[in-house]
Amino acid sequence: MIRVRWWILPGIAALVAAVGLVLAWVFRGQPSGGQGGSGPWEWQKQPAQLEGGPLEVAVSSAKKEALSLAQELCRRFRDDAEALCIFGLVESRFGDRRRAVDAWKRALRLVPDYADAWYALGEEARLRGDFSEAITHFRRAVDTGKAEARVLLSLATLLIQEGRPAEALPYLEQYLGAVPQSIEGWYRLGQALRLQDRLPEAKQAWMQALRLDREHKTVLYALGEVCEKLGQHGEAERFRREFARLEARDRLNPQLRRTWYDDLAAAREGLAAAHVAVAKFLAVRGDWELAEAHYRRAAEVDPRNTAARIALLEWAAENARWQEALRWVEELAALQPTELEWALRRGAVLLQLGRLEEAQSAFLTATEIAPGRPEGYVALAQLMVYRNRDLEGARHWARRAVECAPSAANYHLLAIVCERQEDIEAAVAAAKRAVQLDPLNPEFRQTLARLLDRWQVVAARAEPSSANGD
């Protein structure tokens, strides 16, 4: 029998105390974020929903829905890297960052070259301020060869912000090769060149960005600074004045001021994004019915979500549900009124519904949105030819299309219009031009042959005429 000695209990107590003190000493005063302190403000840590306000309830409800959505996805698709990635994104947005990181790491254990997971880890590190780790993760994403272009931009941006412009340049060039219309891409390129004191090249890059958006304040500011450095004081002043004008305009915009604090809109946006991600996941796996339901929910939750509406528009068009397609395209056009595509699609859908006047009006809107693009003119000309009405108008639009883009297709369209007007001479000229530009296109050759048959005698005697249908 073991006798309990009098010194054993104090000895154990001393052991525990010593271990505790050692641990306290080691971790004493280590900087850590930690939670807010105790005191009279504890109740503030409870969600504002306890106050019962509708805003707080709606936000809380949105968060819960998003989290349960992600959890359900992972439950149904266990050990699926993409599902884990989506789960991580939702958790990082609405839930626990640590769970998000765990999910992404699990995804990478399943698929080590899963670019989206590396990117997500990089973004998480960036938000934490650990740029070194973020750069490492972004590089891993890029090295998989499957990363989206945005990863290149994110990586380059971080390298620039870390004062490493030379390393950023190759990524930027690669990014702009994939997305040449990216304003931010050109801006960052200018930034990298500026950091290397390559001022004329920096200015060139920023000018390219400005061509894409003449009211981009960041680009204007950069141009003001670089022109000043180059001794181009007049230009510098011009850019700065424009910057100041736009800045003053934005400061007066109450909507811009308010959206910074629109908590509910942000929550809805996040919830809709979660539904869209799940919908895409399901669509790829063939469960279109469920995918559609999620897209619908996303559209319902977030009145500004375009991804869901685009998907629903495509789905409705594919299934010839034109009335529904019209709804979605009109919502998209309202959200993005300067987007040419929605005006064109709206016209196309109205055509399908037999609402020809409205379709014509939609195509006319397209020409007003983008007067330098041929698509609207082409659509109008085709519609008028189809209706066999106002052929003079059709000829006018076809001619405009050719002026914007003198392509074989547009010349061919012009030829058709001229033929309808019985102006065979002009039609032949236009058709000849089309064939010159695209000699291998059988349709264009057939058209030309047909027109030549009608004109064979006339063409032999006629004077050479302009190919522009005048």
Partner 1 sequence: MAAHPVEVLPPSGRTLSSPKVVTNSLLGGCRMGLLRKSPSWLLLARRLSLALLAGGILITLVALAPSRVRYPYFASRERRGIWLVDVTPETGIAFRHTDGSSGRKYIVETVTAGLATFDYDGDLWIDIYFLNGTWLPGTNPGGEPPRNALYRNHGGFRFQDVTLFAGVGDLGYGLGVTVGDFNNDGFPDLFVNNFGPNALYRNNGDGTFTDVTDEAGVRGGNLVGAGAAFLDIEADGNLDLYVANYVQFDFSTHPVRTAEGYRIYPGPMDFLPERDLLYKNNGDGTFRDVSEESGIGACAGTGMGMICADIDRDGDTDVFVLNDVAGNFIFVNDGKGHFEELGLWLGGAYSGEGRALGSMGIDCADVDHDGWLDFYATSFAREWAVLYRNLGDGRLADVTAASGAGAGTYQHVTWGAAFVDLDNDGDRDLFVACGHLYDNVELFDPTGAYRAANVVLENLGNGRFRNISQEVGDGLHPVKSSRGVAADDLDNDGRVDLVVLNSREEPTVIANRSSREDSRWIEIQLFGVRSNRDGVGSWVGVFEGGMEHWAEVHSGRGYQSHFGSRLHFGLGNHQRVAKIEIRWHGGQTQVIENVPTDRLLTIVEGDGAYLLPPF
**From 8-16, 175-183, 304-312, 380-388, span contacting partner 1 (CB under 8 A):** 8-16
Cβ of 246: how many Cβ atoms within 10 Å?
15
- Residue 27 sits in the site that holds partner 1 (CB under 8 A): no
CB 362 within 8 Å of CB 333 = no
**Binds partner 1 by CB under 8 A, chosen from 1, 4, 7, 392:** 7
Of residues 19 and 334, the one with the C-beta less far from partner 1: 19
Per-residue HEC secondary structure of 37-82 comes to CCCCCHHHHCCHHHHCCHHHHHHHHHHHHHHHHHHHHHHHCCCCHH
Site string for partner 1, 154-183 (x = CB under 8 A): ------xxxx--------------------
In 215-333, at which residue ranges do the beta strands (DSSP E only) sit? none
Nearer to partner 1, 39 or 354 (CB): 39
Q: Which stretch binds partner 1 (CB under 8 A): 200-208, 213-221, 369-377, 442-450?
A: 213-221
For the segment 30-59, give every residue that binds partner 1 (CB under 8 A).
30-37, 39, 41, 43-45, 47-49, 55-56, 59
Task: Report the distance separating Cα 149 and Cα 328, nearest Å.
Answer: 28
Q: Estimate the share of the chain in helix, then strand, then coil, as percent rounded to the nearest 5.
A: 75, 0, 25
The least distance separating partner 1 from the CB of residue 80, rounded to whole angstroms, comes to: 25
Signed CA dihedral, 207, 212, 213, 214: sign only: positive
> For residues 184 and 208, what is the distance between their CA atoms, to the nearest angstrom?
11
Burial class (CB in 10 A: 0-12, 13-18, 19+), 99: middle
448/429 Cα distance (integer angstroms): 9
Work out how close the CB of 43 gets to partner 1 at its nearest, in angstroms, rounded to a whole number.
7
106, 131, 213, 336: which one binds partner 1 (CB under 8 A)? 131
75: nearest Cα among 115, 95, 98, 103: 103
Encoded tokens for 140: 């891993």
Beta carbon of residue 169, minimum distance to partner 1 (angstroms, whole number): 14
Q: Report the Cα–Cα distance between both ends of the chain, in Å, rounded.
A: 119
For residue 464, the 8-state DSSP code is P
Residue 153: CB minimum distance to partner 1, A: 15
Among positions 244-303, residues that touch partner 1 (CB under 8 A) are: 244, 247, 251, 257, 260-261, 263, 267
Interface with partner 1 by CB under 8 A: which residues? 5, 7-8, 10-12, 14-15, 17-18, 21-22, 24-25, 28-37, 39, 41, 43-45, 47-49, 55-56, 59-60, 63, 92, 94, 96-97, 127-129, 131, 160-163, 191, 195, 217-218, 220-222, 225, 228, 240, 243-244, 247, 251, 257, 260-261, 263, 267
